[in-house]
């Protein structure tokens, strides 16, 4: 390498590299196939249960693009799952299994509600304050399972699931006892102050500025993970904790700040969702966007750059399913069958590395046979 700096491949260069590097291309191909397979499975399910399968299938597959407002709805639906997807990317890069982002998101929304209802600040600053506060609280919550794991090696998935129940009940307690609007018959918080709502991007639609904030965070998290020391440490600690420890990386500290950042993004996402989309806190149950975050992160192959793409795919499925269920006899919940299937396929190393394994096997066989041939020749001579 001498003193010459290695040249980074440019944009087109990296695309060319991507298509020539089979180790990268093939898993990407299989990820796309998994998505396609899940859609096929969905269509199959529709044909089993629906009385009018053709219309239902059409609504499912084309619903998001048939109506303009459906497409706006899709863009709105991308916002929360982009945030949770980014948070899950960080946690999965560290090879932790925690689902605590669910709590961060929910409590983030509750904190934002409290600020949106109780404080009066100038517009612009008001949602910003709420987002930062929600992010900080979400980050602190995100730390909990990581601390338990680092200090006492308690399984982080189990503890995070318990915490998710606890924080859900605490959150709804806060809404019910301190922020509830008693004039409403359904469970709802007092209405937000006018200054709390994010501006709309397009007149007469629900598309709000949160979409831009989400896009900004995609860039920030990409830079954080791939261009900063902290991100580098997270990736090393995830890929090989022992090596990281030998190399002098404080693995425990890395795990803690990674979880804080993930929780921060989750909590901030909750605040964005509240100030962008709602006029009061009206969730009757936890929307569980962290589960969607898992799928988004896995479809993006844990790379924040691809999060918008996979968030778009998932939002497309969900909006299509929603449109179909409103106009037909297929329940919206069938989407979770497809989502579960996608995770199962993408979690399977054997499926993901099928082509690679086959190639390696073939190369090994070729090498063996040529060696045999050489040995036979050597024997003759």
Partner 1 sequence: MIEFIVNVFTSANYWFIVLRSTAPILLVTLGAVITESAGIKNMALEGSMLWAALVGVIVSSWTGSAWLGLLGGILAAVAIALTLGLFALKLDANAVLCGVALNLFSTGGTVFVLFSLTGDKGISSSLASKTLPFIKIPFIQDIPWLGKVISGQNVVIWLAIAAVVVVHFIMNKATIGRRIKATGENVEAAKAAGIDPDHIKFFTLIVSGVLAGIAGCFLSMGYTSNFTSGIAAGRGYVANAAQVVAGGTAVGAIFASLIFGLTDAMATYLQNVGLPPELIQALPYFVTILGFIVVTLIRDRRESIRKKKLFEGKLPKGGLKPVMTGSDAGGATPV
Q: Is 149 in the site for partner 1 (CB under 8 A)?
A: yes
Is the CB of residue 188 less than 8 Å from the CB of residue 181?
A: yes
Segment 220 to 279, residues that bind partner 1, using CB under 8 A: 241
Q: How far is the CB of 378 from partner 1 (least distance, A)?
A: 37
Q: How far is the CB of 8 from partner 1 (least distance, A)?
A: 31
Binding segment for partner 1 among 105-113, 129-137, 159-167, 227-235 (CB under 8 A)?
Answer: 159-167
Contacts 24+ apart (CB under 8 A), 91-94: 91/258, 91/259, 91/262, 92/238, 92/297, 92/298, 92/302, 93/225, 93/234, 93/235, 93/238, 93/258, 93/302, 94/234, 94/237, 94/238, 94/254, 94/255, 94/258, 94/259
Tokens 């945030």: give the residue.
83
> Could you say which of 32, 40, 347, 364 contacts partner 1 (CB under 8 A)?
347
Closest by Cα among 296, 250, 290, 252 to 270? 290
Distance CA 188, CA 191 (A): 8
> Could you say which of 162, 202, 364, 374 contacts partner 1 (CB under 8 A)?
162
Binding segment for partner 1 among 100-108, 224-232, 340-348, 359-367 (CB under 8 A)?
Answer: 340-348
Is the CB of residue 366 less than 8 Å from the CB of residue 352?
A: no
Give the chain's length.
Answer: 381
Cβ proximity to partner 1, 131 vs 338, nearer residue:
338
Q: Is 33 in the site for partner 1 (CB under 8 A)?
A: no
Closest by Cα among 210, 181, 172, 179 to 115? 179
Binding segment for partner 1 among 73-81, 92-100, 201-209, 258-266 (CB under 8 A)?
Answer: 92-100
> Could you say which of 131, 214, 258, 291 contacts partner 1 (CB under 8 A)?
291
> Could you say which of 4, 5, 7, 153 contacts partner 1 (CB under 8 A)?
153
Q: Is 93 in the site for partner 1 (CB under 8 A)?
A: no
Distance CA 373, CA 375 (A): 5
The contact set with partner 1 (CB under 8 A) reads: 45, 49, 95-97, 99, 148-149, 152-159, 161-163, 165-166, 168-170, 172-173, 176-177, 241, 291, 294, 330-331, 333-337, 339-341, 343-344, 347-351
């Amino acid at each position: 390498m001498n003193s010459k700096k290695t040249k980074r491949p440019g944009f087109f260069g990296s695309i060319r590299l991507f298509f020539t590097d089979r180790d990268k291309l093939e898993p990407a191909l299989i990820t796309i196939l998994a998505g396609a397979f899940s859609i096929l499975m969905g269509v199959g399910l529709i044909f089993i249960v629906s009385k009018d399968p053709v219309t239902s299938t059409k609504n499912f597959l084309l619903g998001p693009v048939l109506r303009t407002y459906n497409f706006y709805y899709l863009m709105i639906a991308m916002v929360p799952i982009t945030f949770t997807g980014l948070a899950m990317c960080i946690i999965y890069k560290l090879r932790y299994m925690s689902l605590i982002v669910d709590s961060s998101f929910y409590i983030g929304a509750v904190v934002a509600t409290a600020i949106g209802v109780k404080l009066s600040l100038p517009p612009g600053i008001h949602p910003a304050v709420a987002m930062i506060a929600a992010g900080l609280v979400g980050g602190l919550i995100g730390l909990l399972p990581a601390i338990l794991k680092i200090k006492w090696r308690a399984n982080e998935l189990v503890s995070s699931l318990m915490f998710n129940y606890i924080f859900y009940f605490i959150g709804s307690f806060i809404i019910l006892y301190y922020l509830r609007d008693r004039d409403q018959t359904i469970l709802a918080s007092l209405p937000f102050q006018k200054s709390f709502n994010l501006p709309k991007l397009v007149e007469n639609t629900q598309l709000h500025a949160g979409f831009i904030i989400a896009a900004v965070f995609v860039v920030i998290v990409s830079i954080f993970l791939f261009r900063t020391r902290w991100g580098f440490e997270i990736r090393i600690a995830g890929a090989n904790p022992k090596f990281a420890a030998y190399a002098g990386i404080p693995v425990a500290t890395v795990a803690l700040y990674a979880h804080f950042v993930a929780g921060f993004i989750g909590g901030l996402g909750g605040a964005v969702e509240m100030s962008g989309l709602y006029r009061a806190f009206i969730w009757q149950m936890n929307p569980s966007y962290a589960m969607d975050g898992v799928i988004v992160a896995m479809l993006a192959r844990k790379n924040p750059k691809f999060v918008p793409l996979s968030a778009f795919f998932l939002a497309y499925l969900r909006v299509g399913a929603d449109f179909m269920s409103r106009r037909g006899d297929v329940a919206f919940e069938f989407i979770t069958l497809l989502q579960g299937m996608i995770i199962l396929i993408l979690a399977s190393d054997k499926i993901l590395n099928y082509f690679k394994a086959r190639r390696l096997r073939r190369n090994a066989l070729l090498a063996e046979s040529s060696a045999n041939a050489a040995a036979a020749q050597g024997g003759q001579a």
